[in-house]
Structure 1
Amino acid sequence: MAGCSIANYASGCEVFERLQRSLRVDWRDYVALVAFEYDAREHPFAVLAGIILSQNTSDRNSIRAYLQLREMVGVSPEAVLSAPEDRLIEAIRPAGLARQKARALREAARRILEAGGEKVLLEMPWRELREFLLSIPGVGKKTADVFLQLVRKAPVFAVDTHAARIAKRWGLVGEKAGYDETSRALLEFFGPERSENAHRLLIALGRTYCRARNPRCDVCPLRDICPYPRGCSTGRNDGGEG
């Protein structure tokens, strides 16, 4: 953990509680949560499919694609594998990169069925499952960790662009930190019991206040304890953007 850090001023629990009070997180705005609410009880594969669709696009687009996949093809691995390729591509077109994502969905479905079906997503030890998921072309660390956080409640922290940016601005990691270092730092800061909800809160914080360009530091709910953009040399941030 970097020396100039939000942790100098507040614990992860305190930051988490403040974010919960200040930010709106609606499950209908996140494709992974939409898939989880609609289909995870019957088809845990559906959540993985939704996360794959979310790669390199907005949740709005990936939710549209997921709902079309659900209606036009189905969200079980069997349905994805048996659907004509052109129909699968058309269903997920709103998510962008439709051919690439269709290949990833088919490969994930094939690997999961070969491994014993969807039950492996629920029964395989989570560390082993993470390695299995990472072996599937088109499934990276963030995709695997979002699935593990949400479906298996595993002690991991998924890092997207918002989480990476915020962790650096908070001083939890250095500017050159990679995925693994950032994931460990956020998991340590928030604690595994809060990791899944904290992940959503960081997305909401990044979208609303801690934006890549023109961050709204003056109205951020953490403006008095965040070391960005002034740094620790001036003590607590008084809310200015200077």
Structure 2
Amino acid sequence: MGKKLLEINNLKAEVEGNEILKGVDLEIRKGEIHAIMGPNGAGKSTLVNTIMGHPKYVVSAGDIIFDGKKINDLKVDERARRGIFMSFQYPEEIQGITVENFLRNAKAAVTGKKSGILAFRRALKEKLKLLKIDDSYAKRYLNVGFSGGEKKKNEILQMAVLEPKLAMLDETDSGLDVDAVRIVSEGVSKLRTEDNSVLIITHHNNILEYLKPDYVHILVNGKIVKTGDASLAEEIEENGYDKFKALA
């Protein structure tokens, strides 16, 4: 068992005055993979956005403790600098900025140090090789003309370059075919160490068959109603959420 990385106590959060999270408790230790599943509108994306500090999501009660320090009042960029990363469900296309430039600037923003172009390029090539992504990818404009699978691979590449302590993946597998799910899963697995953790939100069991989470949490109506191992995801695949809705 690794050291405690993220601790969430009785977290309540609202969006535009509507309470979405109604008292979430969650603990993630270093080296663990956690999956959160639940029906639409349960609050899954709200949870990761609240952990990331998105200003639209307002904490009304509870604490978010990351690496031993309460981060409730920190802005998004401050949380990123402490080692929290979040992938987006719908990554934006940005004309005129190459993947390489974007990643170099993102790394500088998170670490506070700008690396030289050649040194960064060498490091990026290693990450591309690790993730089996073609070198030409780095020269393309960010997400412009990318397939769904390429956009998701790009998010895993970001994760590889930024080396966060906690990576939160919001429906990384949505809209991906079986091959793309496997490639993304392998990428996440390769980046996993004893010192970092992954929190993945998913609707499907497919990605979890590759990633093999340590814990699966069922979120219903703004609360975690059940926690178990990977077999919980299989149960949902077969029987849906009806049984768990009754627990909320």
Larger Rg: 1
Give the TM-score, by structure 2 length: 0.30
Write 1 or 2 for the structure with the bigger share of helix: 1
By relative contact order (CA 8 Å, sep 6+), the higher-ranking structure is 2
TM-score by length of 1: 0.30
